[in-house]
């Protein structure tokens, strides 16, 4: 399974794990894969702590971080240094408040509400250029960070050039072929072709159709990873058949004991069927594949207010999330997850996921090798 991207990045297996959780990053590294920490849910101070911990536990191995620099965002909110709460329009705030009241979700006690607001204020600009820049600056203090990936648009060329100058590789997610051209122009080294099946922000094209298009558009020297709907070895074999050098997975790690999900969120995850993972704008204002809940569906009803641009919709979502969690209301929990959620029924571990992927990959390779063998002349 060793492909050129493994040599470029210094890992044994081209299995990339996207996760917001440091334990997943460390475990995937120990299992031979490559971990990329989603920095978007951490304040710069929290990120510093997480990267120190990862550095201390990965035995000198390389890893990456992922940031979110969208093409479209709220410019005033991006420049803010104080809380975004007073930029939230009354219509959206009142709609959410009424929904939570009607669902009997209690407010947080004032002290706790203040602590949650302050915690949130440290990271609410992370879905924009200025917040992402602060996170990149933290990562640059950690020499084991060898890859920086951007989602939601091409990373600015000046940042790509700066990162290359420091010896880092740069990746970017693509949801359609035109994204590949924009990322190439910015100088990106790795294209992550993410199909609509994926959890998180996602487009409309399936992985099976998208990956070969991105491989063809990538051009020489640019590696393509397949993402979206990959949780088993047979899907890894398919990704190689489509021309990818590796796979980039997100949802499958959510069900591991190392993941950051709360017990309530894990209950929702394991109960969800593939068809429950739908694209909705409730979480960030852009289409995110998530497990639908009464909350996500309320914003789809006639008369619901329009979604705000990032990072404002995120601020609304996070305010509600803590209250819903505290109330223990599984029916109101919407967490990002891809269609493979329907294959996940019980807790496992990162190591076990990788072992299962490898076994399934070998079985698949043995099964299809005779089908692929060319006739040799007698």
Please, which residue, 246 or 338, has the CB nearer to ligand FMN?
338
- Kindly give, in sequence order, each residue whose CB lies less than 8 Å from that of residue 74, ignoring residues fewer than 6 positions away: 87, 128, 308, 309, 310, 311, 312
Tell me whether strands 63-68 and 34-38 are parallel, antiparallel or unpaired.
parallel
Tell me whether strands 190-194 and 277-280 are parallel, antiparallel or unpaired.
unpaired
Site for ligand FMN, residues 227 to 246, rule: CB under 6 A: 227-230
Which among 114-122, 161-169, 190-198, 237-245 is the span making contact with ligand FMN, rule CB under 6 A?
Answer: 190-198
Q: By C-alpha distance, which of 68, 22, 76 is closest to 47?
A: 22
With CB under 6 A, what is the number of residues at the site for ligand FMN? 25
Please, which residue, 40 or 311, has the CB nearer to ligand FMN?
40
Please, which residue, 33 or 228, has the CB nearer to ligand FMN?
228
Binding mask 138-157 for ligand FMN (x = CB under 6 A): -------------x------
Binding mask 309-348 for ligand FMN (x = CB under 6 A): ---------------------------xxx-x--------
- The residues facing 247 across adjacent strands are 15, 226
- Beta strand ranges found along 133-254 (DSSP E): 145-151, 169-174, 190-194, 200-201, 223-227, 246-249
**Cα three-residue angle 159-164-165, rounded to 5 degrees:** 95
Site for ligand FMN contains 68 (CB under 6 A): yes
- Kindly give, in sequence order, each residue whose CB lies less than 8 Å from that of residue 64, ignoring residues fewer than 6 positions away: 34, 35, 36, 37, 145, 146, 147, 148, 149, 171
b vs e for 32-53, b when ≥16 Cβ sit within 10 Å of the residue's Cβ? bbbbbbbbbebbbebbbebbee
Please, which residue, 34 or 248, has the CB nearer to ligand FMN?
248
Q: How far is the CB of 263 from ligand FMN (least distance, A)?
A: 16
Binding mask 25-64 for ligand FMN (x = CB under 6 A): -------------x-x------------------------
Q: How far is the CB of 201 from ligand FMN (least distance, A)?
A: 6
DSSP labels, 247-293: EEE-HHHHTBTTS---HHHHHHHHH--GGGEEEESTTTSS-EEEE--
Site for ligand FMN contains 171 (CB under 6 A): no
Which among 102-110, 236-244, 250-258, 293-301 is the span making contact with ligand FMN, rule CB under 6 A?
Answer: 250-258
Which among 137-145, 195-203, 315-323, 356-364 is the span making contact with ligand FMN, rule CB under 6 A?
Answer: 195-203
Q: How far is the CB of 89 from ligand FMN (least distance, A)?
A: 25
Give the CA distances from residue 355 to residues 250, 361, 363, in Å, rounded to whole numbers and listed in that order: 17, 10, 12
The C-alpha atoms of residue 228 and residue 1 are separated, in whole angstroms, by: 19
Which among 113-121, 222-230, 267-275, 346-354 is the span making contact with ligand FMN, rule CB under 6 A?
Answer: 222-230
**Cα three-residue angle 141-55-17, rounded to 5 degrees:** 100
- Beta strand ranges found along 60-121 (DSSP E): 63-68
Count of other CB atoms within 10 angstroms of residue 117: 17
Answer yes or no: are the C-beta atoms of 84 and 315 closer than 8 Å: yes
Residue of 23, 50, 197, 265 that binds ligand FMN (CB under 6 A): 197
Which among 162-170, 194-202, 233-241, 312-320 is the span making contact with ligand FMN, rule CB under 6 A?
Answer: 194-202
Chain position whose Cβ is nearest to ligand FMN: 250
Site for ligand FMN contains 198 (CB under 6 A): yes
Which among 102-110, 224-232, 291-299, 356-364 is the span making contact with ligand FMN, rule CB under 6 A?
Answer: 224-232
List residues binding ligand FMN (CB under 6 A).
18, 38, 40, 66, 68, 151, 173, 194, 197-200, 227-230, 248-252, 336-338, 340
């Amino acid at each position: 399974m060793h492909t050129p991207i493994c040599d470029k990045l210094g890992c044994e297996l081209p299995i990339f794990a996207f996760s917001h959780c440091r334990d997943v990053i460390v475990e995937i590294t120990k299992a031979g894969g490559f971990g990329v920490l989603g920095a978007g849910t951490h304040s710069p101070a929290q990120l510093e702590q997480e990267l120190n911990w990862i550095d201390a536990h990965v035995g000198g191995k390389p890893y990456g971080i992922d940031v979110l620099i969208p093409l479209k965002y709220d410019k005033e909110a991006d420049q803010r240094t104080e809380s975004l709460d007073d930029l939230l329009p009354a219509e959206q705030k009142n709609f959410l408040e009424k929904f939570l009241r009607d669902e009997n979700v209690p407010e947080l006690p004032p002290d706790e509400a203040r602590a949650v607001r302050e915690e949130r204020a440290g990271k609410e600009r992370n879905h924009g250029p200025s917040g992402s820049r602060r996170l990149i600056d933290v990562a640059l203090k950690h020499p084991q960070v060898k890859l920086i990936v951007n989602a939601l648009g091409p990373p600015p060329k000046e940042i790509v050039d700066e990162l290359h100058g420091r010896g880092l590789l740069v990746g970017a997610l693509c949801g359609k072929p035109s994204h590949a051209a924009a990322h190439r122009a910015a100088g990106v080294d790795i294209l992550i072709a993410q199909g609509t099946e994926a959890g998180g922000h996602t487009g409309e094209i399936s992985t099976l159709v998208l990956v070969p298009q991105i491989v063809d558009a990538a051009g020489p020297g640019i590696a393509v990873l397949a993402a979206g709907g990959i949780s088993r070895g047979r899907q890894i074999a398919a990704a190689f058949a489509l021309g990818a050098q590796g796979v980039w997975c997100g949802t499958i790690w959510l069900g591991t004991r190392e993941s950051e999900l709360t017990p309530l969120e894990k209950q929702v995850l394991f109960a969800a069927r593939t068809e429950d993972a739908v694209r909705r704008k409730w979480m960030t204002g852009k289409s995110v594949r998530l497990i639908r809940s009464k909350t996500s569906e309320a914003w789809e009803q006639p008369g619901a207010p329009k979604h705000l641009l990032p990072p404002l919709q995120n601020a609304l979502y996070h305010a509600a999330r803590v209250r819903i969690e505290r109330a223990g209301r599984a029916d109101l929990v919407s967490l990002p997850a891809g269609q493979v959620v329907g294959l996940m029924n019980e807790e496992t571990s990162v190591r076990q996921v990788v072992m299962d992927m490898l076994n399934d990959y070998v079985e698949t390779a043995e099964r299809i090798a005779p089908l692929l063998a060319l006739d040799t002349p007698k």
